[in-house]
Structure 1
């Protein structure tokens, strides 16, 4: 059996969309189960592709310009291969802070763009993944003693890593520097383990799918406490939920109901009306049409769940939770369980996601066949000239498009003249119209100009923006 270790990690990026925006910096530290550091930290920058714009706001947060990453970084294939080698060490649990929602998506999409399996490092050879942010939220909600909890101006708790690190005197030399953030994450996990060891043991011992399914028992329908940012910081990001139905499409999702809310709309409305109440944008809903509090819990994303009985009366009061009312809501649903389950299945069955139009963002548009997975592995051992001759052709057109872009970015000399024209035309279209989302070049320039006005009198920030302006000017060569 492989020896267990944590690989704590963090990315800084050139934007907030993990499907489309590129990584700027990565840092990782391996520890044993007791948080003792093993080996040397991994820290590296990623060279941006020549066609990348990025978002200026991201650079103001991280301080990393495209020019800096280009000078000090490595090409993305080398960057992500180095990261994968660490995460795929047998027995590794890759872990971060808000990493399931963001950093893991950066990893998956970088692996996808560079012809690695996006998922194997999450389960193969005893490997797994985790994210401590919801453990932190659970500690605030149920067992807050021994930890300083920073608040925002409105009095609600802040779960930002930098705020928690500062309030608790944890090591974080520079917020939004990847290595500094990793140290702060390790220290925060250690703090919770030391101050609330039973809670820490509970969360780490119940982060697998089987534990989540057991707590969301579809036979008893017993309520469970669930942690999610969607419940709001004012409520400690925690609510009791009732398992309603297995998701009709996603086998890793269980549909639940938030028992804070009156279930009358769930009980009285038809499925199509419930659908509208859930998926219509808030600004398009009438004021007298409250949301229906159905929520999917993804058992493969280490959901933080706990028995309903863990809620103490004093904590319930602090979290604006009326336990008796929740029990009444549970009974009202349970009395009409068959009808409610059928409605929930119909609602989520009716939801259809549009296919991504851009290959780089289309990871979740379908699994890759075994034959194409084998071809993808061959990309790394096939000379660029042979790739240019068509030695590797995929049955999945997403991968053919990715291979063309991979060659254009990392082996431009392998492109024929017609391919060079196709590449330049594609980049020009992207910069001019942004068909895959993000900023057009004109919008980028406008954002830079606006930010320059905002940071007058801040020479460091202004210098970053001058470099970003120069980067935008460089991109105009494609037009």
Structure 2
């Protein structure tokens, strides 16, 4: 029996700003039907910390969540991500949040991967999809703002603010607290309801064009079309929407499609291009829920807001098609301008090195479903990817340290000591730096009393970890 379609709205609070390195602290989620009626009890869960990781103090100041909170209320990370994933992988579920594609989804992927689960399987198959309404909100402001207030400005940029707290406040939506996962989920659903009520066609369009296949079909209907794209890359006083025309796709199955920004000057040749973005060439990743719609959506009010007209954009697009055919094959340019990345060597962070081999996935699933005390006693496992030997040992040590032998406990302490003294990621702090920052926070007259309470808890946590790992 097929389950009815539903949307699982979720939000994470984390112990840092890097979704691939920092740990999740809290997850809140609420399931609704497609009419946004809540159909199941909301839930919030916590993720315990382990001794091979230190939280970022500034993130704890924002959320108010400290190690003592997650360790008293939470579950082992393996159990935490398994529970969250069981909600995500329910048949016909669309997982949605607010800016979740860029951050929360990446943190979930990395946590699944670190715990030997397929990080991508939950995003497709059996009617499962993912969505992110932040670009829908931006599009509502630019294209169809009637009935919705977008008056608040970002203090740093002076542009329209898309912070949840600002949007709920100016639209008369009660939001008690912020940077609490469940509070933010309620706020996200409320903003979605607001757009669905005030601009139902826009909401419906965004929902029905949330997958890469929807975007591919939209473009394939007429490759000569001009589209409007809404994204933070285009943020300005006028808005977040630019007119684009598709010019190149790396392959038929690629999620990446390249567009030309029709508000940019036309380059005279590919040879003069050193930077794609500065030359008006935009890569859109269709599997990351971009907002893309036909330029026919542009009405007179939107033209006035955004500062360009449909007629002038269509004329420029026509000129490019006639006179700039060199823009329609970017293979050599993409190769020439490809950024160089520092190769990651620690297996905990090589999530994008390759997809999980099917045999390895099934073997790991079988291993992890068994008695945890026996996992490290079953002799040598054979994996297609050698990294899973290290990762399996780390997963058991992090989650079930009580099953380790005395020798294995010493090895785990040694591993943690290395992480604390010489972190494998440049985004992590050494234990000494962490403790120094906490002391400075406690001693600073610029910090409030409530902030000092958090610094004290973080400092005490650091001392506890130091005692556990470095005591003889």
TM over 0.5: yes
Matches within 5 A, 1:350-429: 350=336, 351=338, 353-389=341-377, 390=379, 392-416=381-405, 419-429=408-418
Measure how far apart 1:246 and its partner are.
0.6
> How much has 1:451 moved relative to structure 2?
3.9
Task: Report what 1:84 is aligned to.
Answer: 85
1:125 counterpart SS class: coil
Q: Give the match's secondary structure for 1:394.
A: coil
Give CA deviations for 1:172-208 in whole Å, capped at 9, x if unaligned: 2110111110100111100000011111111112222
2: distance between equivalents of 1:222 and 1:82?
A: 44
Find the residue that maps to 1:39 and give its secondary structure: coil
Q: Is the 8 A contact 1:379 1:392 kept in 2?
A: no
Among 150, 153, 161, which residue is 1:151 paired with? Answer: 153
The answer to whether the 8 A contact 1:248-1:348 is kept is no
Given the superposition, is the C-alpha separation of residues 72 and 223 from structure 1 closer, same or farther in structure 2, using an over 3 Å criterion? same
Taking the aligned partners of 2:402 and 2:322, their CA distance within structure 1 comes to 68
1:315 matched to which residue of 2? 302
Q: 1:52-71 residue pairs with structure 2 within 5 A?
A: 52-71=53-72
Comparing 186-195 with 372-381, greater Cα deviation is found at 372-381
Q: Deviations over 1:44-83 (max 9, x none)?
A: 1111112210111110010000111111111111111111
What 5-or-longer segments of structure 1 have no aligned partner?
280-290
Superimposed CA distance per residue, residues 454-473 of structure 1 (whole angstroms, 9 cap, x where no aligned partner): 67462111100111111222
Q: Secondary structure at the match of 1:471?
A: helix
Corresponding residue number in structure 1 for 2:334: 348
Q: Which moved more, 1:344-353 or 1:25-34?
A: 344-353
C-alpha displacement of 1:391? 5.5
**Which residue in the other structure is 2:172 paired with?**
169
Structure-1 separation of matches of 2:235 and 2:319: 24
More moved, 308-317 vs 360-369: 308-317
Distance in 1 of aligned mates of 2:424 and 2:119: 25
Q: Give aligned pairs, total.
A: 462
Q: Please identify, of 132-141 and 199-208, the stretch whose mean Cα deviation from structure 2 is larger.
A: 199-208
Q: Which residue of structure 1 lines up, in the alignment, with residue 74 of structure 2?
A: 73
Please tell me whether the aligned partners of residues 261 and 329 of structure 1 are also in contact (alpha carbons under 8 angstroms).
no
Query: Structure 1's 68 and 257: CA in aligned 2 closer, same or farther, altered over 3 A?
Result: same
Tell whether 2:217 aligns with 1:214: yes
After the TM superposition, which of the residue ranges 41-50 and 427-436 deviates more from structure 2? 427-436
Find the counterpart in structure 2 of residue 277 from structure 1.
275
> 5 Å matches for 1:166-245?
166-217=169-220, 220-245=223-248
Task: Indicate if the aligned counterparts of 1:254 and 1:298 stay in contact, CA closer than 8 A.
Answer: yes
Alpha carbons of structure 1 residues 459 and 254: separation in structure 2 relative to 1, 3 Å: same
In the alignment, does 2:434 pair up with 1:447? Answer: no
SS of residue in 2 equivalent to 1:12:
strand
Indicate if the aligned counterparts of 2:57 and 2:438 stay in contact, CA closer than 8 A. Answer: yes
CA distance in 2, matches of 1:142, 1:260: 17
TM-score (norm 1): 0.90
Partner residue in 2 for 1:119? 120
Tell me whether 1:255 sits opposite 2:241 in the alignment: no
Cα shift at 1:151: 1.6
Task: Give a deviation string over 1:368-394, Cα, whole Å, max 9, x none.
Answer: 111101112113222233221236442
**Structure 1 residues 470 and 92, CA gap change in structure 2 (3 angstroms):** same
Single out whichever of 112-121 and 72-81 deviates more from structure 2. 112-121
Distance 2:346 2:449 in 1: 38
Stretch moving more, 382-391 or 166-175: 382-391
For residue 364 of structure 1, give the secondary structure of its aligned residue in structure 2. Answer: coil
Q: Structure 1's 219 and 380: CA in aligned 2 closer, same or farther, altered over 3 A?
A: same
The more displaced of 230-239 and 55-64 is: 230-239
**1:334 and 1:84, CA in 2 relative to 1: closer, same or farther beyond 3 A?**
same
Q: Shift in Å at residue 441 of structure 1?
A: 2.2
How many Å separate the matches in 2 of 1:441 and 1:183? 37
Whether the aligned pair in 2 keeps the contact of 1:156 and 1:234 (CA below 8 Å) is yes
**SS in structure 2 at match of 1:348:** helix
Q: 1:13 deviation in Å?
A: 0.5
In terms of mean alpha carbon deviation, does 456-465 or 135-144 score higher?
A: 456-465
Gaps of 5+ in 2: none
CA 1:235–1:372 in 2, change beyond 3 Å: closer, same or farther?
A: farther
CA RMSD across the alignment: 2.3
In structure 2, C-alpha distance between the alignment counterparts of 1:453 and 1:333, rounded to whole Å? 62
Task: Look up the match of 2:24.
Answer: 23
How far apart, in 2, do the equivalents of 1:295 and 1:424 lie? 47
How far apart in 2 are the matches of 1:201 and 1:453?
53
Q: Separation in 2 of the partners of 1:419 and 1:437? A: 27
SS in 1 for 2:7: strand
SS of structure 1 residue aligned to 2:229: strand
Aligned residue for 1:286? Answer: none
* Residue in structure 2 matched with residue 108 of structure 1 by the alignment: 109
CA contact (8 A) 1:218 1:245 kept: no
Mapped to 2, the partners of 1:340 and 1:418 lie a distance apart of 62
